[in-house]
Amino acid sequence: MRKLTYYIACTIDGFIGDPEGDATSMFAFTEGAYVQWMGTEYPESIPTQARAFLGVDGADNRHFDTVIQGLGSYRLALDIGVTSPYSHLRELVATRSLTDSPDPRVELISDDLVGRVRELKAEDSPLDIWLCGGSTIAGELIEEIDELIIKTYPQVYGTGMPMFGAGFEPRDFELGEVRTFDNGVLVRTYTRKR
């Protein structure tokens, strides 16, 4: 069975964006050894339009062959005229407001997100599924998330969009690898305790 991995950037205090979901202040930390690590270890997480610039155009997908994101995350690409931001992956967007996909490579999921994720997890593939964001769908899929890879940037927002838009219920994960970078970024990997 394939894993669903929530691979996400956040602030020290656990926010993935400001109250409107904007995380552009975190972009300042995407440089140096950290970006080199992302390009080597997770090249598929780099948007198609940035792959050539970062020297990973044509790099094989190492961990994921499918990406799921909410409309808020997908809208960042749409707003700059990109309809398939991860064309090197199978793309799914969870949305109730878009009724027609702006790109034939992008599948819209308007209902039963959990059921669709379970179908994806049951597929026979050596690669896993990347949950790209955002908060609402992470909250909806929290019981399906097998792994967390949290890229913590050295900022504090104080308030904003949390990693999970879910009600209070403790869920346990086990800490695995921890990687630090000179620019203050910390990457932690957790697996769900079953």
186: domain CATH number is: 3.40.430.10
Which residues touch 31 (CB under 8 Å, ≥6 apart)?
183
Per-residue model confidence as pLDDT tens digits over 19-28: 988 999 999 9
**Paired sense of beta strands 64-70 and 4-11, if any:** unpaired
Q: Tell me how far the alpha carbon of residue 15 is from its chain's centroid.
A: 14
Full domain range(s) for residue 45: 4-192
Of 89, 69, 85, which Cα lies nearest the Cα of 77? 85
Least reliable range by pLDDT among 5-9, 18-22, 81-85: 18-22
Number of domains in the chain: 1
User: Which pLDDT score is estimated for 133?
Assistant: 87
**What does the pLDDT look like over 145-192, one tens digit per residue?**
999 999 999 999 999 999 999 999 999 999 999 999 999 999 999 999
**Contact, 145 vs 131, CB < 8 A?**
yes
pLDDT tens digits for range 106-127: 999 999 999 999 999 999 999 9
Secondary structure of residue 60 in the 3-state scheme: coil
